[in-house]
Structure 1
């Protein structure tokens, strides 16, 4: 009879789980591999099974003893991968009947459940301050590990590293590699100014700082690593640093040109000559600032792939920049010079880290989808829970790609509304329909008919649930859409911000644009420095008559590619390092150069750089 009652009790708990437990939130990408929470068991000696704990709860003489046993049952069910049953027990517990001791385990079980559902902010809230309340090392380790993962999700990488270092003190199998997977994301701004007192943490602090220092002077990196090894001879990361130095020595060919020759593969003739020359101008401008490198340009339009490869092999360069065209990149991704750092100036459609051998290649592209992604992240942070963005775009393949990237990157509460127009005559109708004016006019007409001769308010009212409007079109499209939007916003409604892309910024409105007043757009930093009054940019444009800002963006890309090829190893190994380039703030994630753009606006007829720039980054996303 007792067993029958026990099974009924378990069945009730399981059924409750099916009706009461919430589902996991939408998955987002993380900057490092997510924890496998289901593999994080406590591995305690003499541990009971969940059924044993449920027996104890059934036989308990009072509510306090019963609840204590149920908490342990919930933890054990999690170890047994029975997450829903565990959640059902936790949801029915009376916290007022928990002792201080039982409350610790209750918080841990709740934290594990939130981690299982990837609700990292809740993990952080429920577990913060809990590790020091445990005496058993198994519980300390697990709680610290969960807190570290939660901090990583909040992009608090230094705090995550502190918790991971502490967790490994209680681990039987410490892993410096695991610690580096967090340490490599620590940015310069996150790193404390003062060296930590703890020797192990101080070693990680110095190693991270060395990478950031080397961004200023890449040639000093080997010396910095030597000094680190001498300063921290017993640090657990010693083997890691030795492996880096060995890999660097193997990549450095003895017969490599001592003049640090850089081979540049560009289309310097033919259909794409202007684009190739613009990139070349930027590369020459960067190298002219220093005499440490020699450039050799190879015309990819004039030579076959085999001839290009033969030329590069003869040069034995210290680095390769290019090619520029996607077709040429496809030929080169499997080339044999895998030990030579190479910055491809384009990105393949389905580019993955395996697209090129080893870790000596980067893919650097000025793709418009990047602007759509950053606009979505920027607008997500400003969106309220009751509003949603509106996207107005042309019904073309390129615009649709922008819209899809925007939607995929949206992290707000309400999904974006999208309205596509096929031709110029459809724009006004698309704006009025999207903003609700068509429906408002119909309602006014119905009221007038019902009211007869009674005078009613005829002012149409636009929608109140729009948080912002995104226009991913070119300058001509934005010039037509912006006035329609301005006159369609109800005078009773709050002002709606309108966002665009760099396509709305051309040489004709480099210093400002009255017709686009209020438009906020993303742009290559070099093109909006000094509010558009960049002397060097204007001198370059004067020297290249007929060229515009599209070529200037390519010149900025060429300029930054030199820095990238010289810092490739550092940036590849540590995504937390950043390069403040002409084309944006750059960092590298899985061989892809990520580019943070500048935000500017047309205000009072002038170009203005926004004082507060978005901290839009990947939620990696990784």
Structure 2
């Protein structure tokens, strides 16, 4: 259809106005002795005909009204004109026609058609309220055609609201192909929180097969073969459903994976030299996870052969010689070792690195259908030893897996915690934090990461400015001074002193801190945080009486300091590993660890958990690389993989209350 332009708009307005003017000035039909009940009739929207234009419909409406004074027929033609304008991508003209029809009153016979068109006309308009438009759709009577259009509009509006479950439910009622429906519904279903799935299944029964499929993939995350077998049963149970012949592509890929088959694993750690003690603790964690598998399987022939290779003082060629034909590697631990070794590894080697290089290799090297191993970040090195724990299987069996190279990176990077903290307090609605950071390279890195991510979160809400107040310190004096200045307490004291001087009377008032500050974030050592928190509490005297929460990371927590620390950290919120939280679910393991390794300090506990999780991730990495919504509930946190092959670690929240660490659900 041609574009009407300004002349067309004037014609539309005059045509509609003249039709409605006739409604007001023409002779009125004779009154009926008995009221006639007009029932809404099923509607089918107008299909564009090359020979029919919206203007034709407007003129026809004018002639019909002049000849018959039939308001329903006239308004139907006007609505058809609006429908054609929408099909011609001319929403402004459609909106004008719809406005004029509404002004003259909409009969019950045309209410359904009008509601559908008004929703179409305003759905993509900036500032339109999705909830109001969804309410309009409740008036639409569903026929074959309008049911599809209603479902399409509901899908768009629910997704605008962020109600992904309702949007997924609506997609199933659209005209999309089975493959398109499955792709969109699966994308939304796998992005929903796991704890919300039961309620969603009750509210939207049509989504039950998708929820069951997600539960199936989570249940068999460590065994592609079992997943494939259960998928066959699934398609039989849901015969006739769209999922029978159109399973999600990533699920099909996951079901075709080969079970881990990691028969020979090389673990690269610094086992001598400066970082020997740390490397040994990571090794202890790996061994503990190994023996946990022994107890579960009770058949050591099914377990891999572990070889520990000392990276201290070894160059990449020496390490490659030590690795030999092994196709599965955990480590190295040090960033520089990773950067020198990875590019020189032969094709077919799968690596779970225990650190992240500054720049990750090309993502095309990672294959989502491959089995992989990842590596964690920590600062560690130790002495060499080789430990054979089970009979190795033949190299032919390993080679038969035909696995392409796959790289994953698993780290305890402090920057990751700073990013999680930014997301946490932003989600809680805080927008004006004070960020306090020690003048130390570690804490400055965390400070920079927090601010960068905070700006990104604000930009996502179209806010040009991220409202952050920064404080840096290098000793207790600069810490106290920085906090009081940031909170405006010093200026408040000055104002009180000025009033006393001017009035020559004592002012009975307390210095007040700034009203706009809603959270305080600390990147500092445990010792500095113990000093910092009492200073903050002494400086805060808010106008409304509300306390400003203080947030920290695990780098501010030391579980070896005794109760005095918890007293000084009263009401501090923080994130840390589940393994260090009270009442975690690994109590039997903790008792065994305490018996085997007495008096582990806080850092050693973290490195032990790190090694334990690295080994446990091994049989699941193929699935985690393929089904990105899956996660592993580990000692170091809830672990999943992003598109860059990095292990994303989400840690639980806690608060210090009454000199004890208490877990928080949110």
Partner of 1:473: 524
- Go from structure 1 to structure 2 and tell me whether the alpha carbon gap of 1:271 and 1:312 turns closer, same or farther (over 3 Å shift): same
1:379 to 417, 421, 425: 425
How is 1:425-440 mapped onto 2 (pairs within 5 angstroms)?
425-440=477-492
1:520 paired with 2:578, answer: no
Contact 2:115 2:136 in 1 (8 A): no
Residue 527 of structure 1 deviates from its aligned partner by: 0.6
Deviation at 1:500, TM superposition (A): 0.9
**Distance (whole Å) between structure 2 residues aligned to residue 530 and residue 285 of structure 1:** 20
User: In structure 1, what is the Cα distance between the partners aligned to 2:179 and 2:584?
Assistant: 55
Check if 1:497 corresponds to 2:546.
no
Correspondence list, 1:374-413, <5 A: 374-383=420-429, 388-394=432-438, 397-398=444-445, 399-409=447-457
Match of 2:654, SS state, is: strand
Instruction: Give 1:556 shift.
Output: 1.4
Deviation at 1:525, TM superposition (A): 0.8
The secondary structure found in structure 1 opposite 2:214 is helix
State how far apart, in whole Å, the 1-side matches of 2:257 and 2:178 are. Answer: 35
Q: Which of 336, 342, 349 is the equivalent residue of 1:327?
A: 336
What TM-score comes out, normalization by structure 2 length? Answer: 0.70
> For 1:123 and 1:337, how far apart are their aligned partners in 2?
55
Aligned twin of 1:464? 515
CA separation of 1:579 and 1:94: change in aligned 2, threshold 3 A: farther
| 8 Å contact from structure 2 (residues 268, 333) kept in 1 | yes
Give 1:506's aligned residue: 558
CA distance in 2, matches of 1:584, 1:135: 48
SS at match of 1:207: helix
- Distance of aligned partners of 1:300 and 1:90 in 2 relative to their CA distance in 1, 3 Å threshold: farther
Contact map agreement 2:119 2:136 (CA 8 A) in 1: no
Query: How far did 1:581 drift?
Result: 1.2
Cα distance in structure 1, aligned partners of 2:272 and 2:520: 41
Deviation of the 1:102 alpha carbon: 1.7
Q: By how many angstroms is 1:485 displaced? A: 0.9
The answer to whether the Cα contact below 8 Å between 1:68 and 1:98 also exists between their aligned partners in 2 is no
- Kindly tell me: are residues 190 and 460 of structure 1, through their superposed partners in 2, closer, same or farther at Cα, counting changes over 3 Å? closer
CA contact (8 A) 1:196 1:205 kept: no
- Between the two proteins, the alignment pairs up a number of residues equal to 563
Change (3 A) 1:474 1:355: farther
Local SS of the residue matching 1:494: coil
- Which of structures 1 and 2 has the larger relative contact order (alpha carbons within 8 angstroms, sep 6+)? 1
Partner of 1:181: 187
Q: Is contact 1:579-1:587 (8 Å) kept?
A: yes
* Alpha-carbon offset, residue 583 of structure 1: 0.9
Q: What corresponds to 2:635 in structure 1?
A: 582
Partner Cα separation in structure 1 for residue 630 and residue 325 of structure 2: 33
Cα 1:131–1:599 change in 2 (3 A) is same
| 154-163 or 321-330: bigger deviation | 154-163
1:400 Cα deviation from its structure 2 partner: 2.2
Listed one character per residue, the Cα deviations across residues 470-515 of structure 1 (whole Å, up to 9, x for unaligned) are: 1122223322321221111127532221111111111333665211
Equivalent position of 2:168 in the other structure: 161
Change (3 A) 1:193 1:501: closer
Q: CA deviation at 1:249?
A: 8.6
Q: Return closer, same or farther for 1:53/1:583 CA change in 2, 3 Å cut-off.
A: farther
Does the 8 A contact of 1:267 with 1:299 survive in 2? yes
Distance between the aligned counterparts of 1:74 and 1:544, measured in 2?
77
Deviation at 1:268, TM superposition (A): 2.6
In structure 2, the partner of 1:617 is: none
In structure 2, the partner of 1:293 is 303
Further displaced range: 59-68 or 375-384: 59-68
| Pair 1:441 & 2:487 matched | no
Answer yes or no: is the 8 Å Cα contact 2:46–2:80 preserved in 1.
no
Q: RMSD between aligned alpha carbons?
A: 4.7
Match of 1:417?
468
- Contact persistence 2:61–2:78 (CA under 8 A): no
Change (3 A) 1:335 1:97: farther
Distance in 2 between residues matched to 1:267 and 1:69, nearest whole Å: 76
Residue 191 of structure 1 contacts residue 205 of structure 1 at CA under 8 Å; is this kept in 2? yes
Q: Secondary structure at the match of 2:618?
A: helix
CA distance in 2, matches of 1:98, 1:480: 71
Distance in structure 2 (CA, Å) of the matches to 1:363 and 1:49: 62
Q: The residue matched to 2:333 in structure 1 has which SS? A: coil
Deviation at 1:341, TM superposition (A): 5.3
The residue number in structure 1 matching 2:125 is 113
Is 2:250–2:627's contact at 8 Å kept on the other side of the alignment? no
Unaligned segments of structure 1, at least 5 residues: 12-42, 615-622
Which of 262, 265, 269 in structure 1 is aligned with 2:268? 265
Tell me, yes or no, if the aligned pair for 1:50 and 1:76 is still in contact at 8 Å. Answer: no
TM-fit CA distance, 1:549: 1.8
> Cα distance 1:583–1:456, how it changes in 2: closer, same or farther (>3 A)?
same
Equivalent position SS for 1:133: coil
CA shift digits 1:52-108 (9 cap, x unpaired): 46994999789978985785477447x47x8xx689969988966674222222123
Q: What's the secondary structure of 1:530's corresponding residue?
A: coil
Structure 2 CA distance for aligned equivalents of residues 47 and 420 of structure 1? 68
Deviations 1:103-127 (A, max 9, x none): 222123322335xx8x9xx446633
Distance, in Å, in 2 between the alignment partners of 1:242 and 1:496 is 46
Q: Which secondary structure does the structure 1 equivalent of 2:271 belong to?
A: coil
- Match of residue 599 from structure 1: 653
Q: Structure 2: state its 5+ residue gaps.
A: 14-44, 66-70, 295-301, 371-406
Residue 104 (structure 1) aligned with residue 157 (structure 2): no
C-alpha distance in structure 1 between counterparts of 2:77 and 2:574, whole Å = 61
Q: After superposition, where does 1:15-54 map in structure 2 within 5 Å?
A: 45-46=47-48, 52=54
Rg comparison, structure with higher value: 2
1:554-569 map, 5 Å: 554-569=607-622
Q: Distance in 2 between matches of 1:90 and 1:494?
A: 53
